[in-house]
Amino acid sequence: MKRGGSLTIVCGSMYAGKSEELIRRARRALFAKRVVQVFKPKIDKRYDETMVVTHMGVKHKALPVRTSADLAKKIEVGTDMVCIEEVQFFDEGIVDLLINLADSGYEVVAAGLDQDFTRKPFGPMPRLLACADEVIKLRAICQHCGEPASHTYRAVDGQPAHKDDPVVLIGAVEAYEARCRKCHKLRGAPKKKFKPASG
């Protein structure tokens, strides 16, 4: 009989340590002799096709899948814990699947970007964050000023990306930086500053 399930979402900007946290939790469960399956979207081939790889080079074996339906078919009998890397790249069906898994007694840990490079909610993340039992929001260090960073900045030919550029562009240090709110830039986005109503 399975123990009570749970859904944990690990989120934050690029370079915040999301993959490290996912791997840490998977390894801790393996140390406790639990059966763990780790999945990643097939689209993410940055460092390795069949590994979750942190930006510092730490690796953990993962099964690449295209869709939430593919992922569901690959969950094996006897699995205790399901971990999903880069969950923001999955279709909306991932939300119902992860809720169903948690309701069925699985421990589910999913890591992903909560915002895209325009600072808008990324894919299925808003619903996952709302339905999670636990949300861990990690912050990086701004690669421009050194302050804590919660946003992902994309550069194109050395310039800030345009607000209408495609949301999905797989990349790492050559295209992305962690930035704080003050240092995040986006071409084509109007600059709005709050002005309090005069008394």
47 in any annotated domain: yes
Domain count, the chain: 1
Domain of residue 123, residue span: 6-138
71 in any annotated domain: yes
CA distance 116 to 129: 15
74 in any annotated domain: yes
**In this structure, what CATH number is given to the domain that contains residue 50?**
3.40.50.300
List, by residue number, the catalytic residues: 86
pLDDT tens string 73-125 = 999 999 999 999 999 999 999 999 999 999 999 999 999 999 999 999 999 99
- Beta carbons within 10 angstroms of residue 104's beta carbon: 11
pTM for this model (two decimals)? 0.87
**For the chain, what is the radius of gyration of the CA atoms?**
18
102 in any annotated domain: yes
154 in any annotated domain: no
Whole-number mean pLDDT of the chain? Answer: 88
pLDDT tens string 2-34 = 578 999 999 999 999 998 999 999 999 989 999
pLDDT for residue 155 is more than 80: yes
CA distance 124 to 184: 23
62 in any annotated domain: yes
